[in-house]
Amino acid sequence: MEFVQARDLRQSVGDGFRQAYAAEPLRLGRAPGRVNLIGEHTDYNAGLCLPIALEHSTWVAVTPRVDGVVRVQSVQGGVWRGTVDDRDGWASYVTATLRELGVRGADVYVDSDVPLGSGLSSSAALICALVVALGSTSVAAAIAAETDGVGAPTGGLDQTISMLGHTGEALLLDFESMQRDRVSWSPEAAGLSLLVVDTRVSHAHETGGYGDRRRECEAAAARLGVANLRAVTDPAPADPRVRHVVTEIRRVRETVAALGAGDWAEVGRLFTASHASLRDDFEVSCAELDLAVSSSVESGALGARMTGGGFGGSAIALLPTVDLDRIATEVAAGFSAAGFGAPQFLVARASDGATLIA
């Protein structure tokens, strides 16, 4: 089975910039995609999340300009030219970041090995890579660029882990207290791997059902007379949207406890329970994600769940490393039998966050 490999793109990005603009880039930045282990749709509800940064990253070469022109060339997205005030498809992520940092013009070159539209935060990786390439380390600026500048209703998880990830660790994010705690994530030491199944069903936060779910949560909090759904004290609310948020926050706590105890079977069980809640109570899954989860578990994974905003994207499966190829092959066969397009696979390892490249 072939897996998408992470690549060091610094040389090719620098060369691409020189070829595109006949000049040397001022700086290079790199920022990873992410996998959220558990805690989905809880960040904008002041809840808990447990993401890791991936080895797979977006790389950006940039030189600011003084004439107000923005030129962007992406290996994945093509060529674009405009100003920082323009909002135009994928280039909006670049112009929004430049606006947020007060940069009025720039030449930008982009390459990435984070699969696009896969629920692995390729958009946040682009923004964070550009933030560090422009000499900033501001998580707040990265969040504002995507939420305010692009209009994507994300809750801040993606940008935070892309900026602050660390090898061998997950980051427990509390979006009520804004506390960040590092949690050891080393399934490899236990003979396990985290398989990512990219269903190849694309989604977009700024135009998809993600925003609908956020509005539903805000409306539910208003009906209940609380500031956010983190404040709900009922352990099993009747409203399915609220029930998912309340039980998902609980599952994050239980996952951290299971990791502390080295109980990987319990981690897998919690993954699968999370997916059932996202599928049934929050209704953000799809047939391809459900099949990725069910076929992984039936083939021997300890547990599996969709990751990211949903409506497409990726699932993750915690499984014995010795069974990695076999389970991936069986999942692919299940997709073929169901008449779905072929998924692609990568192995997720907790890695470092955004870096300014010398």
Kindly indicate the confidence band of residue 154, based on its pLDDT and cuts at 50, 70 and 90: confident
pLDDT of residue 206: 44
pLDDT digits (tens, 9 = 90+) for 71-110: 999 999 899 999 999 999 999 999 999 999 999 999 999 9
pTM score, whole prediction: 0.95
CA distance 193 to 300: 12
What domains sit in the chain, N to C, each tagged with a CATH number?
10-183+353-357 (3.30.230.10), 186-348 (3.30.70.890)
**Has 198 been annotated as catalytic?**
no
Catalytic member of 158, 198, 239, 281: 158
Two structure tokens written together for 313? 């994207």
pLDDT digits (tens, 9 = 90+) for 37-70: 999 999 999 999 999 999 999 999 999 999 999 9
